[in-house]
Amino acid sequence: MSVTDRSRLSLMFRRVLLLLLLVLAGGLAYAVLSLPDQAVGLSDRVRASMETSGVSNPVTAVLLNFRGYDTLLEMAVLLVALLGVWSLGAAAAHRTVDPESVLLSLVGVLVPMMLLMAGYLLWVGAAAPGGAFQAGSVLAAAGILLLLTCKRPPVRLLGWPLRLVLVLGLGAFVAVGVTLMSANGAFLQYPNSLAGGLILFIEAAATLSIGVTLAALFLGGWPDLDV
């Protein structure tokens, strides 16, 4: 294929791409313009059943109670993503760069504060913006800071303890669901009196799992025990 042929082909490809993008943009514009002025959302129904949810933050009520299934599947997706990364091979060899003292002292201040912040976000999620994913990502950020300063967890924790923490969130979620199903026949249908406690329990387990999973994703590849 000569050079001119190739450039003509790429020009045609670009034109087709432009056409497709214009169709997509037109479709999106039509969808936005055809939205009703007064959207009939589900917020009234959520507000009406807030008392049975066990929490006072509507977002947490939807994520952990009314649509608990979605959050359960999100946890599963996160775990599958990590399995995908681990299937690529072992993590790159330990980089032995001596971190600067400024970074080290900053980490010494930041990491405890981030742990506190994660705990606060987890707890406050019941009543105000916050929750397991936000708390988990703050936890993961602390983990990434530690990894960047070449602080690795001891090898004995990288075997089954690490894997246990990784599946803890999903496991707790499924365990609660199955227990409730055997008690009252419906998966993840919390009884009113226990809802708040069960949501906090699931969120605490999920926070740990999310934090460790995201930090493990940053490491890239499964931790090599021999290194």
The closest of 152, 181, 172, 201 to 79, measured between CA atoms, is 172
Q: What is the DSSP string of 157-209?
A: GTTHHHHHHHHHHHHHHHHHHHHHHHHHSSTT---TTTHHHHHHHHHHHHHHH
Task: Candidates 144, 158, 167, 174: give the one binding another protein (CB under 8 A).
Answer: 144
- Residue 191 binds to another protein (criterion: CB under 8 A): no
Q: Assess 199 for contact with another protein (CB under 8 A).
A: no
Radius of gyration of the chain (CA): 24
Residue 24 lies near another protein (rule: CB under 8 A): no
Residue 150 and residue 109: Cα distance in Å, rounded?
Answer: 16
Which listed range, 12-20, 37-45, 132-140, 163-171, lies at the site for another protein (CB under 8 A)? 132-140
* Least distance in angstroms from the C-beta of 214 to another protein: 6
Min separation Cβ 12 and another protein, Å: 22
Nearer residue to another protein within complex by CB, 177 or 211: 211
Backbone angles phi, psi at 90, to 5 degrees: -75, 155
**Which among 208, 215, 56, 218 is positioned nearest to 133, based on CA atoms?**
208
Applying CB under 8 A, which of residues 19, 42, 77, 92 lies at the interface with another protein?
Answer: 92
User: Is 121 a residue that touches another protein (CB under 8 A)?
Assistant: yes
Is 189 near another protein (CB under 8 A)?
A: no
Length of the chain: 227
Phi then psi for residue 47, to 5 deg, are -60, -35
CB of 100 to another protein, least distance (A): 18
For residues 86 and 79, the answer to whether their CB atoms sit within 8 Å is no
Tell me how many residues contact another protein (CB under 8 A). 18
Site for another protein contains 134 (CB under 8 A): yes
Interface residues with another protein (CB under 8 A) are 57, 59, 92, 121, 129-131, 133-134, 137-138, 140-141, 144, 214, 217-218, 220
